[in-house]
Each structure stands twice: as structure tokens, then as C-alpha cells.
């Protein structure tokens, strides 16, 4: 196992490095110290062909100018915050409205758009990277100095583990996730309509016309949001269900796990034989099928179009700070925010 590093570009006169974690099983993961962006995940298909299974760019400029959060860590708070404001202990905090009037994925200078201090880690059974960043009190409108550490580890079982920790010196809110767009066909050969998703969830959050959660938790049984027995993603893309249509003909919805504690999500593509097993301790997974990806740019030589990737954003519930019935995302000075999600890749279909 090894770590390879190279200069990827420069941001505000600081070097941006790309680190590639390589295991002994034919898998590698490449990350930037800018935004903790995962640029590539190289895994073999059923025939042993190793290809990239996430969307990304070949240069830093495209990540800065064009990227819809490809592969990045998003925070301080993932998802949308309604009207770009929230109240804590009687004080109203106003955030950057980067999706006017709402606040999205931590704002303009969110965790996706800063340089992280990076340390390489070599263990007996894994290699990895430790990213750290101090978000200053008032950054994008959030209270408190927030010190965040992200540990990415790759082992020989083709498993990438991402663990998040954060502490604050003032009461604040935190909800972190990784925003990778997966495409198990490899090298963007096909879109994700034939991907199969399976997870234990019986409810999802209803969205309003602005894609903000309304606060209502809807039953998923007998709808395109029922993934208990595995479902092709195209069933939601072609669905006439009002929530699928509202999201741009597809999914952009938090799916709530049935049980507390550790939960699994299985994504597979039959033609390549690849399967991704996601294990997480979070409350939900936001399923986004890239319904608004179309644009005048290319992704690894492929013209950007809708449905080229699928995001599985494991996190707390979006806009939880403004929804009293949602689990809290408040972090107090005496507490430590912790979250872990693991991504394990197989070259044969399991679980669906």
C-alpha cells in the first residue's frame, strides 16, 4: 500500500496537491487538499478492468468555476437552510444566501472551497489522509470557531472510510457529508438510469417548490421512493409522482433510515458487475440523481448531461435547525461532532 502525491494546481498562491491512496487489491482513491475533493476512485469491474467510478475534472480551474460539488466535503452544514438564517438561544444568525434566498452546502466559502491542512497516514492495514481546517467565528455567518478533522482511510478490502470530527468554542450547527457523484459503469460510459439502489427506509422528506423540506415525512411504501427490495433509478426519473417531477424528474430527497445506528445502502450496476456498499451512522441519505447536471462543459471528456451520476449524501436532515421535529444538528462547546461513512466496492452484484 502506498500514497502518491503531485501538484494539481494553485489556489490563492497556495499549492493544491492531489494525493492518491493505493491498496494491494487494485483500487485507488485520489483526493485534493482543496475541498477534500475525491477526484477519482479506481476500481475493477467483473472483468478486471479498472476504471474511475466518480465524476470529476482533470484540472483545478474547472473545480473552482464549474463544479456542482463534485467529490467535495460540504459544510459547515450540508443541504439547504431556509431563508439563509436560523436562531440559537434567541439570537438570529444570517448566512450567505448562495442559492437565493436560501443557503446551500455551507455557502460560497464552504468547506468545499478552502485549502485543508493535510497529513499522510500509513498504518499496517491501511493508508490514508488526515485533513484539518479551522472555520473562524462568523465565516459565512456561522457562530463559533469550528475545528474540523476528516480522516480518509483505504484498506485492502477495497473499503474507503471517511470519519468526521468537529469541536467548537461557541454553540453552533454542524452537518457534514461527502458529495461524490458515483457512476459504476466506469469512466462515464453510461448514465445511472440502470443503477439499482437498495436500503431500509420507509419514509422520505417531502420537498417544496424551492426544494426545501416542508417538515412533512412521507411514507415511501408503494411509491418510487420504496427501495427496500432494490429499485432501478430510472423508475424515479420516469415517474409521474409529484415529488419526482418537482425535483426535475428524478430524486433530490432525504431518505430516512428505518432504524437508528448503523445502516447500509447498496448501489449496483449489472453490466459492469460493480457494487458499492455504503455503511453509515447518519440519520438519512440524500439521494440525488443529477437531475440538473446538464451544462456547457465536459466531465472526463463526456458532455455534461443529466443523470450522469448519483449522490448518496449520508448526513443529518437538511434544514434541521429550522424544523423542530427533526433530529438536532446543534453542537455545544463541550461536545464533539462525530460521523463515519464507509464505502466498500465489489466486482459482483450483491444484496439486490
Please identify every residue annotated as catalytic. Answer: 179, 313
Mean pLDDT (the chain) is 96
**What pLDDT does 315 receive?**
98
- Which of 292, 289, 215, 290 lies closest to 256 in space, CA to CA? 215
For 77-129, write each residue's pLDDT tens digit: 999 999 999 999 999 999 999 999 999 999 999 999 999 999 999 999 999 99
Would strands 159-168 and 146-155 be described as parallel, antiparallel, or unpaired?
antiparallel
Sign of torsion, CA 227 76 102 90? positive
Confidence of residue 348 (pLDDT cuts 50, 70, 90): confident
Cβ distance 322 to 91 under 8 Å? no
What share of the chain in percent tops pLDDT 70?
Answer: 99
Confidence of residue 351 (pLDDT cuts 50, 70, 90): very low
- Domain limits, the chain: 2-346
Confidence of residue 26 (pLDDT cuts 50, 70, 90): confident
* Cell numbers at 206, concatenated: 417531502
Q: Which fold has domain 2-346?
A: Beta-galactosidase; Chain A, domain 5 (2.70.98)
* Mean predicted confidence (pLDDT) in 234-262: 97
Cβ distance 71 to 169 under 8 Å? no
Q: Is the pLDDT of residue 324 over 80?
A: yes
**What pLDDT does 352 receive?**
40
* Mean predicted confidence (pLDDT) in 12-35: 96
For 62-75, write each residue's pLDDT tens digit: 999 999 999 999 99
**In sequence order, which ranges of the chain are alpha helices (DSSP H)?**
60-65, 234-237, 242-246
> Which H or E run contains 110?
none
* Mean predicted confidence (pLDDT) in 177-186: 98
**What pLDDT does 294 receive?**
95
**What pLDDT does 83 receive?**
97
What share of the chain in percent tops pLDDT 90?
Answer: 97
Amino acid at each position: 500500500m502506498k500514497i502518491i502525491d503531485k501538484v494539481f494546481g494553485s489556489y490563492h498562491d497556495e499549492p493544491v496537491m492531489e494525493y492518491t491512496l493505493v491498496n494491494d487489491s487494485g483500487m485507488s482513491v485520489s483526493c485534493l487538499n482543496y475541498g477534500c475533493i475525491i477526484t477519482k476512485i479506481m476500481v475493477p469491474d467483473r472483468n478486471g478492468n479498472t476504471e474511475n467510478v466518480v465524476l470529476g475534472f482533470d484540472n483545478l480551474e474547472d473545480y473552482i468555476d464549474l463544479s456542482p460539488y463534485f467529490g467535495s466535503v460540504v459544510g459547515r452544514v450540508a443541504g439547504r437552510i431556509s431563508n439563509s438564517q436560523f436562531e440559537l438561544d434567541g439570537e438570529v444568525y444570517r448566512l450567505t444566501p448562495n442559492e437565493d434566498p436560501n443557503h446551500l452546502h455551507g455557502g460560497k466559502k464552504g468547506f468545499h472551497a478552502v485549502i485543508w491542512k493535510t497529513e499522510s497516514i500509513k498504518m499496517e492495514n491501511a493508508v490514508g489522509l488526515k485533513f484539518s481546517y479551522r472555520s473562524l467565528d462568523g465565516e459565512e455567518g456561522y457562530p463559533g470557531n469550528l475545528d474540523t478533522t476528516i480522516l480518509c482511510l483505504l484498506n485492502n478490502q477495497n473499503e474507503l472510510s471517511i470519519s468526521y470530527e468537529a469541536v467548537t468554542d461557541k454553540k453552533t450547527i454542524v452537518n457534514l457529508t461527502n458529495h461524490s457523484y458515483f457512476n459504476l459503469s466506469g469512466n462515464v460510459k453510461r448514465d445511472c438510469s440502470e443503477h439499482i439502489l437498495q436500503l431500509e427506509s420507509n419514509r422520505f422528506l417531502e420537498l417544496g417548490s424551492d426544494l426545501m423540506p416542508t417538515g412533512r415525512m412521507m411514507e415511501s411504501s408503494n411509491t418510487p421512493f420504496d427501495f427496500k427490495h432494490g429499485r432501478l433509478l430510472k423508475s424515479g426519473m420516469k415517474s409521474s409522482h409529484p415529488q419526482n417531477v418537482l425535483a426535475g424528474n428524478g430524486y433530490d430527497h432525504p431518505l430516512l433510515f428505518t432504524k437508528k445506528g448503523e445502516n447500509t445502502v447498496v448501489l449496483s450496476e449489472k453490466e459492469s458487475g460493480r457494487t458499492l456498499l455504503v455503511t453509515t451512522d447518519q440519520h438519512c441519505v440524500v439521494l440525488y440523481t443529477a437531475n440538473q447536471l446538464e451544462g456547457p462543459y465536459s466531465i472526463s471528456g463526456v458532455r455534461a448531461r443529466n443523470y450522469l451520476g448519483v449522490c448518496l449524501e449520508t448526513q443529518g436532515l437538511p434544514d434541521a435547525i429550522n424544523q423542530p421535529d427533526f433530529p438536532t444538528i446543534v453542537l455545544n462547546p463541550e461536545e464533539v461532532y462525530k460521523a463515519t461513512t464507509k464505502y466498500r466496492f465489489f466486482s459482483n452484484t450483491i444484496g439486490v
